Amino acid sequence: MKRTKICDVLTLPSNQQELIVMGWVRTFRNNQFIALNDGSTIQNLQIVVDFNRFSEELLKKIHTGTSLKIVGKLIPSQGKGQTHEIIANTVEILGECHPEQYPLQAKKHSLEFLREIAHLRMRTSTFQSVFRIRNGLAYAIHQFFQNKGFIYIHSPVITASDAEGAGEMFQVTTFNLSNVPKTNSGKVSFSDDFFGKSTYLTVSGQLEAELAAMAFSNVYTFGPTFRAENSNTPRHLAEFWMIEPEMAFYDLTDNMDLAEEMLKYLIKYTLDNYPDEIRFLEQRQIDEEKQKPQNERSTMPLIEKLQFCIQNPFERITYTKAIEILEKSTYNQKKKFQFLVKWGIDLQTEHERYLVEKEFNKPVIITDYPKEIKAFYMRQNEDGKTVKAMDILFPGIGEIVGGSQREERIELLEKRMKEMNISANDMYWYLETRRFGTVPHAGFGLGFERLVQFCTGMNNIRDVIPFPRSPKNCEF
């Protein structure tokens, strides 16, 4: 016989067939009932042990975390909480787990504590649910774009360009840092470095995706990106994953339509394929928020929030209209906003959430932002003040997608790059896409961890990536 995964055991008829199962002990009650989990499902399988048939020495070694191989008969469960159970004929310990040393015991642990032992936290029901949903969303992203005929492009992790113009990038070098070669003027001599120039970990695959879109029309990237932003908040990571589609012959409206369709597809996929995990995470969130003041709790339960985004068409307004709404709001009149509201500001999360949760009670897409707060590559509007940008705002999280129609007119693009001190020589390859057969095109970026956060109800972004990278933290 071969091992049967617990997810498969739970679908079998309970007709006393003999099976082999393997997994880790979640609990061991009354020296008789083992809750076994092998990671294939959030559900545990109950193993019934007749303690008269097994040695006391063996039973004393079975604790939470112990790995076991069980051979036994599958029968209908007589107890509450499960449909199947296995009557153990043989019990073999594969790996012991000493309770005095093992930090994960059969009790509730705080997320802060589990963050400190991130190498073990995937063994808990919470993180198995989160990372199973993360896996499903990654699959669904590829499924969505592949079904639409998009080409998957592997954009580089090491780059010489700053796509966002923000400058918060990790430097890549092979220099011995205790003996960095310098020029006669005292500057670092990058000509002696591995790539012969200054290079960085990428902040975005967008610019490379634009190159591919000029050949394939519709492409997407999905890979790791990096920001050397010294932000120790529940919303920021130094390493995160981005989904970035680029579409030739698309305008801003086409871009918004695709992004809305994609988000609804991904959320529905989660609800359809992970009902047990979603129900578990919803209850976890409810229990956790009981300790919080009412104004700090989620505006709606997890399942209702996800269905809310599927069922409602996204509201579409301009940035100028959004500012007017915020300025006239009672929140602003009573000075409840922490950050000033006026035309030209970069909207803060509190402003975004007000528009979604108070004003429209549905997801919102804001378009036509001031060009001064947006990247150089966004197409300029005729007013000379705004660009064809769009951000999608969700309840509880604010911005989840950012995108734009790209500037395809080379003279305007070169002018904007000059205004922002971006070297045309260094970006010659990007400009040549406008010089040789330019077309209207558009794209957007979706931060994968923000999406996973939204779909799982987790409050801290470090809890939706297996090994979070943040300031002063690079374990494993």
Q: Is the pLDDT of residue 7 over 80?
A: yes
The answer to whether 441 and 254 have CB atoms below 8 angstroms apart is no
Residue 299: pLDDT over 90? no
261 pLDDT above the threshold of 90: yes
- Write down the pLDDT at residue 209: 97
Residue 109: count other Cβ atoms within 10 Å of its Cβ: 15
Task: Note the pLDDT of residue 71.
Answer: 98
Cβ neighbour number for residue 229 with a 10 Å cutoff: 16
- Mean pLDDT, the chain, whole residue set: 94
The tokens for 38 are 């092998």
Nearest alpha carbon to residue 305 among 275, 273, 267, 272: 267
Q: What is the pLDDT of residues 262-274, one digit of tens each?
A: 999 999 999 999 9
pLDDT of 66-84, one tens digit each?
999 999 999 999 888 788 9
Biggest CA-to-CA distance, the chain: 86
CB 285 within 8 A of CB 302: yes
Rounded Cα distance between 194 and 171, Å, is 12
Q: How confident is the model at residue 247 (pLDDT cuts 50, 70, 90)?
A: very high
Percent of all residues in the chain with a pLDDT value above 90, rounded to a whole number:
87
* DSSP class of 60: T
What distances in angstroms separate CA 462 from CA 15, 39, 112, 469, one per listed residue? 44, 21, 10, 8
Q: Would you say residue 292 has pLDDT above 90?
A: no
The whole-number pLDDT of residue 102 equals 96
Q: How far apart are CA 148 and CA 247, in angstroms?
A: 12
- Beta bridge pairs of residue 224: 241
* β 33-37/45-48 pair status: antiparallel
Virtual torsion, Cα 356, 358, 359, 362, nearest 10 deg: 40
- All residues at 6 or more sequence positions from 469 whose CB lies less than 8 Å from its CB, including other chains: 237, 238, 239
At position 187, the amino acid (one-letter code) is K
Q: What are the phi and psi torsion angles at 280 (to 5°)?
A: -60, -45
Distance CA 317, CA 301 (A): 27
Pairing of strands 84-95, 45-48: parallel
Q: How confident is the model at residue 295 (pLDDT cuts 50, 70, 90)?
A: confident
Local confidence band at 107 (pLDDT 50, 70, 90 cut-offs): confident
Helix (H) or strand (E) holding 159: strand 158-159
pLDDT in tens, 161-206: 876 666 689 999 999 999 999 999 999 999 999 999 999 999 999 9
Q: pLDDT tens for residues 441-460?
A: 999 999 999 999 999 999 99
pLDDT of residue 232: 82
Q: Structure tokens of 428?
A: 């010659």
| Mean pLDDT computed over 391-398 | 91
Between 118 and 233, the higher pLDDT residue: 118
Compute how many other C-beta atoms are within 10 angstroms of the C-beta atom of residue 114.
19
Residue 167 region, left (φ>0) first, then alpha (ψ -120 to 50), else beta?
Answer: left
Q: Is the pLDDT at 43 greater than 90, yes or no?
A: yes
Q: Which amino acid is at 32?
A: Q
CA nearest neighbour of 202 among 156, 271, 146: 156
The Cα 266–Cα 455 span in angstroms is 9
How much is the pLDDT for 167?
62
Rounded Cα–Cα distance for residues 250 and 218 (Å): 10
Domain(s) of CATH 3.30.930.10: residues in the chain: 122-168+203-463
Task: Answer whether residue 1 shows pLDDT above 90.
Answer: no
Q: What is the pLDDT of residue 384?
A: 93
Helices (H), 274-419: 275-289, 302-311, 319-328, 330-333, 349-354, 410-419
Q: What are the start and end residues of each CATH 2.40.50.140 domain in the chain?
A: 6-106
pLDDT at site 40: 96
Report the CATH number of the 122-168+203-463 domain: 3.30.930.10
6-106 is a CATH 2.40.50.140 domain: yes
Tell me what pLDDT residue 235 has.
80
CA gap 216, 236 in Å, rounded: 33
Instruction: Express each pLDDT in 201-236 by its tens digit.
Output: 999 999 999 999 999 999 999 999 999 988 888 888
122 has pLDDT over 70: yes
